[in-house]
Chain A
């Protein structure tokens, strides 16, 4: 899942980036509103974490700039403003959630995950595809009852495929959602990751992720 953090406090920005990256998110950061809007307009983010008081262009300006965009990310406003009217103003301007500073990182993470699920219209925190179970809250996956040992990047790939289950996912989409702008993978990085994933499912699960030649990949229950 790909997240953009637009926050002017460098310490906070970098800590959030580190924390989210360790959870397998692809994270991009921007220190002012103008750069943030540019990033958000030019990349397919799942979640935008947005501070309101930003230099050059404030958070409201960023929200206004994204209003017309069809595939805009879900927005988590992160701000020191805690008045009811500030929250109402932020939500009315297009924010999907509001978190007042200071906050617990666990709560921040839970809200980001909830926004990811909302983006893919997934109400449950557990996604089941045949005998594959992906718990997006616990960030665990199991096949036929056996836990899968996945790296953060592998889990992120599996979670993205699970949330888009039944749909063909283009290689470019996977690159966009799993890797940040500054960490572009090698040309076969996605294919390699899919290959590793299949290997971890074992022989019985090899067909869970099917290759659609010339298009991409689809995660579905082969027995269905």
Chain B
């Protein structure tokens, strides 16, 4: 549908035109039939009046006709013809002519082969060439003399054919047709105008909605559309747009916060790079100081590179550009591998690690994703656990689902912190002193888990923090 206005107007006008045409045709046909019925009644009356002037005696059948009373039949023989003459012919049943109108001037009228007591009507040209209407009826003579007694003869049967011009009827029919067409055109025009007004009025809320949408700026999204009172059909659309604005607002806020966080996170390492290099350059004669400065620059750049790689991976995940595989993965092997690689860090902090995850514990998932998530969770647990604390790993797989739980002493973590844990760059220490942690690990882990149909949840109970990685299929 290219245009609602065009659709509504075309359908309304098309429908209205069809209805009007049908109604006009029906009116025309009905009135035309009525007019013809009137003409036929007139012809029947003529038959009746002609029949009334036929007399019968024992000897003959006579026709008492007065030219003066019915001048349309031609008046006296040889007299002037009327402009619109009528015609009749009366014959006996055997076809013998009893009488015919002077207007026929001796010509025959068309007589059907079979004539009954019921009048039959038809349309055919008149002897004078005009379009005419005929009626034929078999009658019995009304006036039979003597009226009573044994000598009364049987009433003769006659065939009456009467015809008259249809010009008045045709003129009336034409006028009627013209009036019907005119009325239809007029009504169609009126309906078109009213339809246009109705459609324009009906589309006004849509235009208002469009104008409101047009006025919205991406950098100043409203909380609600506020397009005024909307009809019931558009209200759900406005509600959906409001919901969409809400989602866009949330996404933009998250995007801006992430951008601000990234910029903020990069400021300190860039300051470090600048200051280390500038201070080293100011004292270019000290090779040892130069080497120390270069080592610092390398460390800072390496840290920044790690953060950028994680950010890039997050961005790819959000864009759906990261390829995800699904296969049977030895999660027990992954946990053991990372516990081994983190054992030095755990020893250094006096952390005791307990794990009941066994080799051969398998789950369905992407091996690379599981490695990243498990390594982040274990590394966080060991790093943020209180010194000399315990980190526990457990695995269970009931009824086709599975749960990997990694828990550690919560330190200063509060319940309200759980919501922020997977936000990019969030760290409990607002100063973000710990330059070894980018603050992106849990954000990446949760994004990866969601992308691969897993769930990563965080719990805090009795000062014990739990990261629960699970899947129900």
Spell out A's residues near B (CB within 8 Å).
8-12, 15-16, 18-19, 22, 31-32, 51, 53-55, 58, 80-82, 100-106, 108
Contact = CB atoms under 8 A, between A and B. Distances in A.
Contacts of B271: 9, 12, 80, 101-103
13 contacts: A9-B268, A9-B433, A10-B435, A11-B435, A12-B275, A15-B279, A22-B282, A31-B433, A54-B431, A55-B429, A80-B267, A101-B270, A105-B274
B322 interface: no
A58 to B, nearest CB: 7
A53 B274 contact: no
B294 interface: no
A19 B279 contact: yes
B300 A104 contact: no
Contacts, number: 78
Interface of B: 264, 267-268, 270-276, 278-279, 282-283, 289, 293, 296, 299-300, 429-433, 435
B282 A12 contact: no
A14 B349 CA distance: 25
Given A53-B430, A55-B429, A58-B430, A80 B275 contact: no
A105 B435 contact: no
B310 to A, nearest CB: 19
A11 B282 contact: no
B431 A8 contact: yes
A53 B431 contact: yes
Given A9-B435, A53-B431, A54-B431, A18 B267 contact: no
A19 B431 contact: no
Contacts of A81: 264
Contact of B282 (A51, A100, A105): A105
A12 B54 CA distance: 140
Contacts of A103: 271, 274-275
Given A9-B272, A9-B433, A11-B296, 11 more contacts: A8-B433, A12-B271, A15-B272, A15-B293, A19-B278, A22-B282, A53-B432, A101-B268, A102-B267, A103-B275, A106-B278
Contacts of B276: 11, 15
Contacts of B278: 19, 104-106
Given A11-B300, A55-B431, A22 B275 contact: no
Contacts of A11: 272, 276, 296, 299-300, 435
B433 A55 contact: yes
A144 B414 CA distance: 68
B71 to A, nearest CB: 114
The 3 closest A-B pairs by CB, nearest first: A80-B267, A105-B278, A19-B279
B384 to A, nearest CB: 14
Nearest to A17: B279
Nearest to A23: B282
B436 to A, nearest CB: 11
Contacts of B293: 15
Contacts of B296: 11, 15
A15 B300 CA distance: 13
B268 to A, nearest CB: 5
Nearest to B300: A11
Contacts of B433: 8-9, 31-32, 54-55
Residue from B268, B274, B276 with most neighbouring chain A CB atoms (10 Å): B268
A220 to B, nearest CB: 34
A12 B431 CA distance: 14
Contacts of A51: 431
A16 B300 CA distance: 16
Contacts of A10: 435
A103 B432 CA distance: 19
Residue from B273, B282, B293 with most neighbouring chain A CB atoms (10 Å): B282
B282 A104 contact: no
Nearest to B430: A53
Nearest to A100: B267
Residue from B272, B273, B300, B430 with most neighbouring chain A CB atoms (10 Å): B272
A22 B282 CA distance: 9
Contacts of A31: 433
A183 B281 CA distance: 25
A36 to B, nearest CB: 12
Contacts of B431: 8, 32, 51, 53-55, 58
Contacts of A16: 275, 279
A102 B279 contact: no
A55 B299 CA distance: 22
B264 A15 contact: no
A105 B279 contact: yes
B283 A12 contact: no
Contact of B275 (A8, A58, A82, A105): A105
